[in-house]
Every structure is written in C-alpha cells, then in structure tokens.
Structure 1
Amino acid sequence: MTNHDEAADVRPLTLAWASRHLEAGERIVRTEALQGGITAEMRRLTIGMREGGTRYLVLRSFVNVEHAEDWLNREADALTLLTGTGVPAPGLVAVDPTAAHCEYPSLLMTHLAGRIVLDEEGLETRVPLLARQLVAIHALRPAERPREYATLTTADTVVTPKAADSAAWAAAINVIRKPAPPYQGRFLHRDFQPGNVLFDVPPSPAGPRITGVVDWAATSWGPADLDVAHCSTNLALLHGPAWGLRFAEAYEEAGGVLSAAASERLYWQARDALACSEEVQVVSQPWREAGRTELTTPAVAERLNAYVTALMDALS
C-alpha cells in the first residue's frame, strides 16, 4: 500500500478492520488525508478491485474526542435511515463506535463525488441549491425520530468579540434569555452549511449541482429554523452578512416553512450566531486550509459582529 503523505497513514488495527469490510479480492492500495474535518480525522481509501480498476471509501476516526461513541452511533443510524430517500448521503459500510477493533472509534462509508466549494464566484447560484437541498432534508419523515435537538450556548457563555457593537450584542443576548418558541418538529441535519455539502461544478454553460451532503453525526429532531439559522451564520461568515440574511429567503422560495413571527425567527438566528462566538477560531481554520486564507480569526469575528448587528437592525 502506498500513502499520499505521512499524515494519511491509517493505523494497523484500523487498516485491518477496514480491510475486513471489503469485497472478496479487494485491497486498500492508497490512503489520502482529506481536509475540512474539525472533530475527526478523515481519509479517502483507494480500493483495488478484484477485476481491476479502483473505487473509494471514506474513513472517519475520532481521536481523543469526548462522546465519540455517541457521535458515531448517531451518524451510523442517520446514514442507514437516509438510504433510498433521495438525499445524497454516504452509505454506511461499517462502524466501530467503541474502538473494539480499531485504535480509535471509526466509521467507514462510501465515497461521494464532488467537492466542497467555498468560493465567492458562483455563490448566487449555489445558495438556492443549498436551500432546496435543506428543504428536501426537512421533508423526511423517518419511522423512528432522531433525538431532540440540543443547544449548549446560554446567554452567559456568549463571547462578545472585541470592538463589537455592544448594544446589538446585548440585545441579541437578551433574545436568547427567553424560552424557546414553540415549533413543529422536522428532521434536522444540524450542521448543514457549505463545508458539509459537495458540488459538481462543470464548465459553463452547465451549472453546479449538489452531489452529496456529509457529516450526519449531529442529526436531530427540532425546528427547521435552527438548520436554516446555522447555514445562514456560516454564509454570513464566509461571504458577508447579506448572504446570511438572504438564505432564509431562499429557503422559503424553495418551499420551506419557517416560524411565522419575526421575533421567533430571530430567536433561532440569534441563538446560532451567538453560539458561533465561542468557536470562531475552530470554525475558521478549515476554511483557511481550503484556500480562504483571508478568513483569519479576527476577520471572521468582525463578520460575526456585522451579522449580529444586521440581525438586530432587521428587527427594528
């Protein structure tokens, strides 16, 4: 077996475990580290097939991650549920959530074509595609619901950026001090954002299309507003506040239904934006690794401040 680079090495027990889940006569001939993962090590495995040719699998391993067993069980359940639904998600091959066979808790899944696209160019075309895909996810009605959503951020844990609009942030923090609004439950991805969506972007005049949605470890049941708010925050940080505000409109244009009252929508929008305040550095690092080098931690914090201010201004 040849490795793309030293960082791509798969540990011996994990390699043996993955090999046991191949078809007869197949073998792993190459491993490559994949960029973009925040909590897990991601690798693409090139599989040499018995009759010649190759195919790919993706290995996801959690190294020193709290609650890894829970995350992997949830993702395995979600991938199983999504099979045959039309939502372009990976297929589950195998999972070892307790590291009974691998060095670290791991999941093996099919590989999806396409790539993550974080560029400014073509954004006006991709946003409606993102909205339509999220509407399709929310339309799923599984026989067994995933667990109820969870939010960890509180009004007391918000980290206000330096040079922030103190009045806007104080107002936003007061918004999330209130009880959560009532909602109609939907199947949520819970981390739906450009970094978890794969695109095929062919040369003009053919337009882009979504080829996959990945990272289903946080799948939950809750308000559609929460998924929309999360994607909105990410778009605001990647491309500016106006795109964060635009996504909710695109979601409704695609047939999605959000809370009727502006104050209820604001609750979810503010909650997600403020949650990001605690992890700006963690969120921005994979974007820089993907080529958006201008998105330094201070630059992203500045955009987050502008987005929170825009949310509060939109309500007034």
Structure 2
Amino acid sequence: MTEDWQRTRAWVRRHLAPGEEIVRAERMAGGWTSTMRRLHVHGPDGERRLVLRSFVRPFYLRHADGLLRRESGVLRLLDGLAGRPVPAARLVAVDPGGEHCDHPSLLMTLLPGSVRLDQGTAGARIPLLADQLARIHRTPAAGADRPRAYQAWVTPGSVRIPEPTGRPGLWQRAVDAIRQPAPPFRGCFLHRDFHPGNVLFTDGGTGGTPRIGGVVDWVETSWGPAELDLAHCSTALALLHGVDTALHLEREYLAAGGRLGPHQRYWRLLDALAFAPDAEKVAVPWRELGRTDLTAEVLRGRLEDYLAVVLEQYR
C-alpha cells in the first residue's frame, strides 16, 4: 500500500468492538474507482474480515461525499429488508467527507465469494445474474429511501467514435438513434452499475453449482428504467463473452419475473455508447482478475458487434 492511511486506520479502530485489533490489511484486486482493502480483525470472539473502500483518485475525491452517502444509505436500506433478498454488505461506518480519514472512506462487512469472469462457466452464471437483477428491481423504496433519478453517462455529442474503426456508419447510426428525448418508462430501484465485476460468486458447496454470495458497489444506485440496468449488464457481458451471452441475459431476466418496456433499443444504445471508444476503463480491473485476452482490439470488435445486433434486433 503506497498511499498513507494512518488516520484511516485509527478511524477504523474506533469502530471496532472492544478488544478487537487490525492484524493484517491487504489490497483487493479489481477496484477501478477506489482503493479497496480487506482488513483482518482479531478479537475476543475470534477473527473476522471487513472491507474498507477509500476514494483517492482526484476525480472521485471531488464526488466522494455524495457517492459514499448514497452507498451507506443503500446498505442500510437493504440490510433492513425482510429476508434480505439482495445480499449486500452491512455498513459499519462511513466518513464521506474525509474528516477523520486520510481519504473519504466507508467500512463494511466482507461478503462471501469472489468475482468470476472466466469464459467457461459464464452460461451457468447468467440465470443467477438475471434473477438477482430482477430482485434488485423489486426493492421497495419510497419517500426518503428512494434514490436519486438516474443519470445518463453519455450524450450524442460526447460519444467518442474509435478512430481505427472500419464501421463508421454503424457508429453514426447508433449515435443518431439516441438523438431523441428519453422514452417513457416505469421507474424502479436500480443498482445502476450491475455487471459481473460487481457480483461475488461462491461454488455452492460440494456440488460445485455457483451461487451469488453478494452484490457490491452501490455508489451509483438510482431510480429509473429497469431496461437501463439490464442494458448495462448486457454491454458488460458482450465485452466479456460476446453478443450471444448478452442476449441470453434478457431471456433469463424475463423468466425471473423481470419486466421490460418497448424501448430497449434506446436504453441499450445509451449504455453501450458510453463504453466507446475502447472500453479500456472496464478492461483494466478485468485484466487484473485474469482476463488478459481482453485487448483493446477485442473489446472494440465486440462492442461494434453488439451495437450492430441491437440496431438490427430492437426497435
């Protein structure tokens, strides 16, 4: 750990149970927006592990207060739901303004499982992702519990078309398709950044069947169209595994009781175009987790293939 975290460490200790101490801290792989540490804590009742999220990069430091207040509120909301239909971490403490820590930070419990991005078992994970997403969309949130309205992450004028593309007409058609007001939608609770990198899987025991152990990264939680959450996960699956896997998610989502409106083309393109020109921002943590095959060329080709299918199959 190169960055200083002495004040943060002292803050964490103040939120531990009597007699507990941090015996080890290790950097967790896969984080892109923030520094993630796994803390091993030992006390009278044995050892437990916590997760510390700290925003250290300049862009995210500017937005840390709102992001961490949003995430802490969502964790409290999900923790209070009967039966805990969404397996999220439990909040321990939060310092959204960095008043007590070296950087704005949030302390939470460690969820079981790990991120699985391998190609071989992707098909077995799709129904689980779809079912979990449908459960998230059914989360009740009224009054003060309702998160902010969703925000689009791209506009027609901000799309960066990749210069080496051999399909400029495809990109132009996709951009033109979002040159309209957002279509009407039925609002629901959105994770807003739901994709395989934010879902932890366990092996399910001796049978080896994967199960979801937890869903992480709730800083972008919003209220908006279910189609946008589905679109975001579909784009990620297209980049990771190809177009067929992305389309498989929709079928499983509907089978799990999810509801979709008639304007999927708009929402899918709105999300996919935000990954242009080469999806490098998601590829960096994915490569850290073993997907070294995801070169800029591969990602660009898969993104273009996905855009072509969306333009062809959706209206």
TM-score for both structures, normalised by structure 1: 0.93
Secondary structure of the corresponding residue to residue 103 of structure 1: coil
2:290 aligned partner, one-letter code: G
Distance in 2 (alpha carbons) for counterparts of 1:179 and 1:215: 29
Task: Write out aligned runs for 1:251-262 (5 A).
Answer: 251-259=253-261, 261=262
Task: Write out aligned runs for 1:271-310 (5 A).
Answer: 271-277=270-276, 280-310=279-309
* Cα distance change, pair 164–137 in 1 and its aligned pair in 2 (3 A): farther
Secondary structure of the corresponding residue to residue 124 of structure 2: helix
1:77 aligned partner, one-letter code: G
2:80 aligned partner, one-letter code: G
Secondary structure of the corresponding residue to residue 35 of structure 1: coil
Secondary structure of the corresponding residue to residue 156 of structure 1: helix
Secondary structure of the corresponding residue to residue 156 of structure 2: coil
Question: In 1, are the aligned partners of 2:75 and 2:90 still within 8 Å (CA)?
Answer: yes
Match of 2:18 in 1: 24
Question: In 1, are the aligned partners of 2:93 and 2:108 still within 8 Å (CA)?
Answer: yes
Moved more, 85-94 or 162-171: 162-171
Q: How many Å apart are 1:117 and its aligned residue?
A: 0.2
Q: How many Å apart are 1:276 and its aligned residue?
A: 1.0
Match of 2:78 in 1: 82
Question: In 1, are the aligned partners of 2:53 and 2:107 still within 8 Å (CA)?
Answer: yes
* Cα distance change, pair 231–178 in 1 and its aligned pair in 2 (3 A): same
Runs of 4+ in 1 over 4 A off after TM superposition: none
Task: Write out aligned runs for 1:80-159 (5 A).
Answer: 80-85=76-81, 86=84, 87-143=86-142, 144-159=145-160
* Cα distance change, pair 209–118 in 1 and its aligned pair in 2 (3 A): same
Secondary structure of the corresponding residue to residue 67 of structure 1: helix
Q: How many Å apart are 1:10 and its aligned residue?
A: 6.1
Distance in 2 (alpha carbons) for counterparts of 1:70 and 1:130: 27
Distance in 2 (alpha carbons) for counterparts of 1:294 and 1:126: 20
Distance in 1 (alpha carbons) for counterparts of 2:130 and 2:199: 12
Q: How many Å apart are 1:302 and its aligned residue?
A: 1.6
Question: In 2, are the aligned partners of 1:112 and 1:211 still within 8 Å (CA)?
Answer: yes
2:203 aligned partner, one-letter code: V
Distance in 2 (alpha carbons) for counterparts of 1:270 and 1:205: 39
Question: In 1, are the aligned partners of 2:227 and 2:267 still within 8 Å (CA)?
Answer: yes
Question: In 1, are the aligned partners of 2:278 and 2:299 still within 8 Å (CA)?
Answer: no
Q: How many Å apart are 1:165 and its aligned residue?
A: 2.1
Match of 1:12 in 2: 6
2:218 aligned partner, one-letter code: W
Question: In 2, are the aligned partners of 1:13 and 1:101 still within 8 Å (CA)?
Answer: yes
Q: How many Å apart are 1:203 and its aligned residue?
A: 6.5
Give identity over the alignment, percent.
Answer: 48
Equivalent in 168, 181, 184 of residue 182 of structure 1: 184
* Cα distance change, pair 10–22 in 1 and its aligned pair in 2 (3 A): farther
Match of 2:219 in 1: 217
Secondary structure of the corresponding residue to residue 187 of structure 1: strand
2:26 aligned partner, one-letter code: E
Question: In 2, are the aligned partners of 1:79 and 1:90 still within 8 Å (CA)?
Answer: yes
Distance in 2 (alpha carbons) for counterparts of 1:62 and 1:174: 36
Task: Write out aligned runs for 1:50-65 (5 A).
Answer: 50-51=44-45, 53-63=46-56, 64=58, 65=60
Secondary structure of the corresponding residue to residue 95 of structure 1: strand
What is the aligned residue count? 306
Structure 2 unmatched runs, 5+: none
TM-score for both structures, normalised by structure 2: 0.94
Distance in 1 (alpha carbons) for counterparts of 2:247 and 2:128: 16
Moved more, 35-44 or 276-285: 276-285
Match of 2:313 in 1: 314
CA deviations 1:21-64 (Å, max 9, x no partner) are 0000000000010011111000000001224x310000000012
Secondary structure of the corresponding residue to residue 223 of structure 2: strand
Distance in 2 (alpha carbons) for counterparts of 1:303 and 1:204: 35
What is the root-mean-square deviation of aligned Cα atoms in Å? Answer: 1.5
Question: In 1, are the aligned partners of 2:277 and 2:300 still within 8 Å (CA)?
Answer: no
Match of 2:69 in 1: 73
Equivalent in 140, 153, 170 of residue 172 of structure 2: 170
